[in-house]
Amino acid sequence: MSEQIPTVKIGCLALVMLLVAVGLVVFWSSVYTLDETEQAVVIQFGKPVGNTVTDPGLHFKMPFVQEVRRFEKRILAWDGDPNQIPTRGREFIFVDSTARWRILDPLLFLKSVKDENGAQSRLDDIIDSIVRDEIASTVLIEIVRSKDWTFDEQSIEFARLSGKEKEILTRKIQVGREQLEHNILVLAQKQMPQYGIQLVDVRIQRLNYIPKVQHEVFNRMISERKRVAARFRSEGEGQAAAILGETERKVAEVQSAAHRDAEIIRGDADAEATRIYNEAYSIDAEFFAFYRTMQSYSQSINKNTTLIISSDSDYFRYLRRIGTDVGTLKSNSSPSIEELDSVN
């Protein structure tokens, strides 16, 4: 009898522990929590029951027969695949668009698209279709530019452009990039409520030509830049030639003025020398003739000079006198001052 009592106690303890474990499992399967970034829908046998749960915190559900589907409250991103689309002007371009959306009605969202992958697929169909329609009905310049885009017509670059280039740059934009994106957003938003989705924004994040057209555009841009460079180079050479010509003209003017001033100074100097010569000649004509004759001797007679002239030539007049005077001086032991002066 005493041995059965511990056995009963052990059995009761095991039963209590089993009941506690079952209770914990039941309690654990009947509660769930949500944080601030989540919202949920309770599913029972594959069908949603009750209202959407949006409040964060601890919530309850029926254990084992109900499950919780969680959905994001935050804004989600959608990125479309680049599509080749012709514009209204028949230019083929790649358009890469992106959008931002959120789950506004989780219950309707679950019924229509089930999960985020289904929503992404549905957004692909809707937004890509609208983007294609809008791009195909718009000219390229309206897709690229903003409506408030302006160009400074007073700039030097604008003045150097051709008439066609000026016409393109000054063309009035009727729609513009921002309005085009707004139109796409409005058209796409009209189809979102049936899926429990709120479309927040749609943007064209990249535009580009297809490879074949891109190559032609790059070649045209290179040719245009070369043409502009050649024009700048030609204008620079013209300005350089004008500057060089102006420099040469100024140099010639300076040299001419300097030559004129030099001739004037030289003429004044010659006139002054002539005046001095005349004064000297008027004071002592004989001395002046003697001086000029001595200069002539120094310039025309040297050790290699041979002159053949008559002995009574005027050219040797002073040489003859010097010889006579020197002989007279040698015969007199004490020449007078007058004799020395006559020799000199």
Residue 25 lies in a domain: yes
Residue 114 lies in a domain: yes
Residue ranges making up the domain that contains 134: 76-209
pLDDT of residue 19: 72
Instruction: Identify whether residues 49 and 66 lie together within a single domain.
Output: yes
Name the pLDDT band for 66 (thresholds 50, 70, 90).
confident
Tens of pLDDT, residue by residue over 22-40, are 666 666 677 888 889 999 9
Instruction: Identify whether residues 178 and 193 lie together within a single domain.
Output: yes
Domain closes at, from 170, 190, 209: 209
Residue 336 lies in a domain: yes
pLDDT of residue 58: 86
Number of structural domains (the chain) is: 3
Task: Look up the CATH number of the domain holding residue 205.
Answer: 3.30.479.30
Lowest mean pLDDT across 9-18, 60-69, 92-101: 9-18
Instruction: Identify whether residues 204 and 115 lie together within a single domain.
Output: yes
Antiparallel, parallel or unpaired: β 38-44 and 66-72: antiparallel
pLDDT of residue 200: 95
Instruction: Identify whether residues 58 and 112 lie together within a single domain.
Output: no
Q: Are 104 and 196 in contact (CB under 8 A)?
A: yes
Residue 55 lies in a domain: yes
Residue carrying structure tokens 């219950």: 107
Q: Are 65 and 44 in contact (CB under 8 A)?
A: yes
Tens of pLDDT, residue by residue over 84-125, are 888 888 888 889 999 999 999 999 999 899 899 999 999 999
Tens of pLDDT, residue by residue over 220-270, are 778 878 888 888 899 899 999 999 999 999 999 999 999 999 999 999 898
The mean per-residue pLDDT over the stretch 207-229 comes to: 80
Which residues face 99 on adjacent strands? 78, 202
Instruction: Identify whether residues 128 and 173 lie together within a single domain.
Output: yes
